[in-house]
Amino acid sequence: MNKKATTGKPSAIDLKMANHLLESISRISHVISAGKGSFRKRQEDILRIILDYLGAEQGSIMIREKKNLIVTAATRKGLIGIKQPLSDPNSVASWVANNCTPLYIPDITKDKRFQGRSSGKYRKQSLLSVPIIRANRTVGVINVTDKAGAKDLFKEDITYLLEFSSLLLWLVIKENLNDDLRKQKCQLRKKNMALHRQQSMMEDLSRMLVHDLKGPLSEVVANLDILSYSITDQNREFLESAQIGCDRAVRMVSNLVSINKLEDGRMRLIEEEVRPGNLLEEATTGIRGLARNKGITIRCEPAEGLPALKADRVLILRVLQNLLTNALSYAPSGSTITANCTKTDGNFIVFSIADEGPGIPEEKKELVFDKYARLSSRHDNLIGSGLGLYFCKLAIGEHSGTIRVENNPGKGSRFYFTLPI
């Protein structure tokens, strides 16, 4: 080491070396933070800076992979990629990695620990080897040999090499994090592709089922309608039950068809002038048979003098039917379902369906309009396909309206939607 002047102040040589060290550290930090080039290229740049500071001509950087050290940067390009087993007793780098200890050897030919080591293509016999340590585990090794000129490496050079190894550890950690991130992104891409494939298969299956169900259901509905003209009063109750079941199945199939079109942006609204009160009456009339079977009263209370609105009559009628069917699913026998429509202070008509069922838990209110979302009844029996309310949300949204739900726990829930006049 250079001695200080008798005054106790650093000598010019000391200051020059300190500046050189700071400059080297700064250059290494820039290589790491800039992130330019591959991991191997950045290691080679760092190795050149280290060798330049130490005044050495040859060196290498080795990274640990399982039970081997892999040469990832070296002044001799032929060494790159070579695997050095950690179990090799004649390897200096393996000894350093296994012991997590830096090693300075003034003359390798005189060190009995490595007598079996090949001499290699080196001009001098002194060498330095330091571990790159993370969490008390060696993740790599830096090797330096062949000091330029007539000088040899000094034991004190280990201190500087350890400083550089800590910087190199920064690069290794950063690369490991980037590698993990790349792997996670790759896994996410694969999972997303698999999900897209599954979604596509589900949609194709849904369309196929809908297509195959429409024909038979239409035939059953038509035959039941014909049968209604000749059936006796004694059997009419059974016929009505069959018609109600078919109507519900047809509505579910229609929901599937409409949802696919609404989601794909293929639904074209057939707008016409609609009287809100008449529409509400039609919706409640179609559901009274099912309500009667369950012992539930349907009250239809449209406000008087409501203005007409422009809407797809069939679509809004199905929205009302879905909301009424949903209310019937949860309303207890002997209760009342109230359907009404009024005009707001603005230019909107509000349709409302209120039941006296168990209500909706506060934490589930935001979920009821999600696709395939289903709420359990008081007895935890799952009801419906989970598509009815989702269809309602899409259909009302297509009309530039909004749909909401509010409830009074234990006293029922109220679904309502607004449509612009």
Residues 26 and 132: their CA atoms lie apart, in Å, by 19
210 lies in a domain? yes
Same domain assignment for residues 288 and 260: no
Residues 227 and 210: their CA atoms lie apart, in Å, by 25
Q: Which of 117-131, 285-299, 304-318 has the lowest mean pLDDT?
A: 117-131
Same domain assignment for residues 399 and 328: yes
- pLDDT for 2 equals 46
- pLDDT for 215 equals 76
Nearest to 143 by CA among 151, 156, 157: 157
State yes or no: pLDDT of 119 exceeds 70. Answer: no
Report CA dihedral (233, 239, 244, 247) to the nearest 10 degrees. Answer: -130
- pLDDT for 4 equals 43
Same domain assignment for residues 263 and 381: no
**Which of 238, 268, 298 is the C-terminal boundary of a domain?**
268
Residues 205 and 375: their CA atoms lie apart, in Å, by 25
Q: Which residue has the higher pLDDT, 237 or 348?
A: 348
258-275 as b/e: b if 16+ CB within 10 A: bbeebeeeebeeeeeebb
Strand 137-147 to 402-407 pairing = unpaired
Same domain assignment for residues 238 and 126: no
Position 150 confidence tier, pLDDT thresholds 50, 70, 90 = low
Domain that holds residue 370: 269-420
230 lies in a domain? yes
Structure tokens at 394: 């899409």
Same domain assignment for residues 262 and 274: no
Same domain assignment for residues 311 and 164: no
The amino acid at residue 64 is R
Same domain assignment for residues 261 and 276: no
**Which of 212, 233, 268 is the C-terminal boundary of a domain?**
268
- pLDDT for 114 equals 82
Same domain assignment for residues 94 and 199: no
185 lies in a domain? no
Same domain assignment for residues 310 and 409: yes
Let me know the angle formed at the C-alpha of 68 by 62 and 72, rounded to the nearest 5 degrees: 25
Q: What is the CATH number of the domain that holds 285?
A: 3.30.565.10
189 lies in a domain? no
- pLDDT for 383 equals 47
**Which of 213, 242, 268 is the C-terminal boundary of a domain?**
268
Position 407 confidence tier, pLDDT thresholds 50, 70, 90 = confident
4 lies in a domain? no
Nearest to 324 by CA among 350, 345, 355, 295: 355
Laid out side by side, the sheet with 348-354 consists of 297-302, 336-343, 348-354, 413-420, 402-407
Residues 314 and 149: their CA atoms lie apart, in Å, by 94
What pTM was computed for the model?
Answer: 0.51
Same domain assignment for residues 164 and 230: no
Position 151 confidence tier, pLDDT thresholds 50, 70, 90 = low
Same domain assignment for residues 27 and 170: yes
107 lies in a domain? yes
Mean pLDDT over each residue of the chain, to the nearest integer: 82
Same domain assignment for residues 228 and 352: no
Position 154 confidence tier, pLDDT thresholds 50, 70, 90 = low
Q: Which residue has the higher pLDDT, 387 or 320?
A: 320
25 lies in a domain? yes
- pLDDT for 6 equals 46
- pLDDT for 239 equals 82
Number of domains in the chain: 3
Is residue 324 within 8 A of residue 302, CB to CB? The reply is: no
183 lies in a domain? no
- Dihedrals phi, psi of 366, to nearest 5 degrees: -80, -10
State yes or no: pLDDT of 377 exceeds 50. Answer: no
Position 98 confidence tier, pLDDT thresholds 50, 70, 90 = very high
